[in-house]
Amino acid sequence: MSLWSSLPHIPYPPSREGYWSPVTSTLNWCEEDYYATIYSAEIVNTLTNLLFMALGIKGFLSCRRNGHDSIFQVAYCGYLLVGTGSFLFHSTLKYPMQLVDELSMIYTTCLMCYASFSYSRSTGIRIFLGIFLASLAIFITLYYHYLQDPLFHQNAYGILTAIVLIRSMYTMEVTLRPRWRHSTEEDRLVREKQGLPVPTKEHQHYENVRDMKTLKTMWFMVIYGLSVFLGGFAIWGLDNVFCSKIRGWRREVGLPWGILLEGHGWWHVMTGIGAYLYLVWGIWLRHCLNERQEEYHLWWPHFWNFPEILRTSTLGKSENGAAKKSN
């Protein structure tokens, strides 16, 4: 740390009481309280939620503009609620705000679970699934409030997230990979011999190439998003385990460099990006399930951009507009 400590810096102010004192939450993270301002208990953990909030608004407006399924508009509202709840929680360290932060994560994941499992199901199954997930969310809420054990919340959230991811990966494979959806040349010939309607060889080849290209990009998005998400989780875990040592490093390097050592802040940024990528992937996958691949495109020029699913006409207009502007 000697190199960092030699850089120009401002010494860390001491932790103190703040406007929202006393702390009533069952959790208090490694960032020291009220050192920057009396109005925010954990300033870095608070401000990093602005990315969550901005991406939630961006995603919601994109759904409205491009005509994506309404379930994803609701999901982005849930995503925005997670960021807003976390902003309020880390600003105040009050127990009610902690519940808004943590339970909104459960509710949004239950919503995505419904979106993943209810597609193309009968009305009866959809109603049953909705009642089951609503009951599960209520149970988790009441039991967590009774236990007040963060590990219960973290385990519940982790299990729900894993279920949604695995289901979505399965759906992606059976929808797009030719051999799983029986779209190989051998399958075409078998159907032809049986007198069933078949596409032309050229059209089938076109669809297979298109879908394999889509599948490859989707897998990159999944692996990239999951790596970012799990990377944020790992950093947060290290922040919890080595908190006292990290606090010492932060005080040694001072401000603003110590901000880079706020592990929970990195958790917000990285899980926010990972969750946003999942929602974009979910939207794209839904259009593939609806056989509307030709109507929509993924806009993602570089991996550091935040991708969107755009209508083909919208994409064409934006590209033409950009071309006109450059001229």
Would you say 31 is a known binding-site residue?
yes
Question: Quick one: tokens of 320?
Answer: 């033409």
Question: Residue 117: what pLDDT?
Answer: 94
Hey, what amino acid is at 221? M
Question: Residue 326: what pLDDT?
Answer: 34
Distance CA 134, CA 272 (A): 24
CATH-assigned architecture of domain 24-326: Up-down Bundle (1.20)
Question: Residue 8: what pLDDT?
Answer: 85
- Total residues found in the chain within this entry: 327
Question: Residue 327: what pLDDT?
Answer: 36
Question: Residue 40: what pLDDT?
Answer: 96
Preceding omega of 8 cis (within 30 degrees of 0): no
Distance CA 45, CA 31 (A): 8
Would you say 268 is a known binding-site residue?
yes
Would you say 304 is a known binding-site residue?
no
pTM: 0.88
Identify whether the C-beta of residue 285 lies closer than 8 Å to the C-beta of residue 172: yes
Give me the residue spans of the domains in the chain: 24-326
pLDDT tens by residue, 56-104: 999 999 999 999 999 999 999 999 999 999 999 999 999 999 999 999 9
Distance CA 29, CA 108 (A): 23
Question: Residue 289: what pLDDT?
Answer: 93
Identify whether the C-beta of residue 93 lies closer than 8 Å to the C-beta of residue 24: yes
Identify whether the C-beta of residue 264 lies closer than 8 Å to the C-beta of residue 241: no
Would you say 29 is a known binding-site residue?
yes
Regions of the chain where pLDDT drops below 70: 1-5, 183, 187-188, 190-197, 314-327
Q: 40 forms bridges with which residues in the sheet?
A: 37
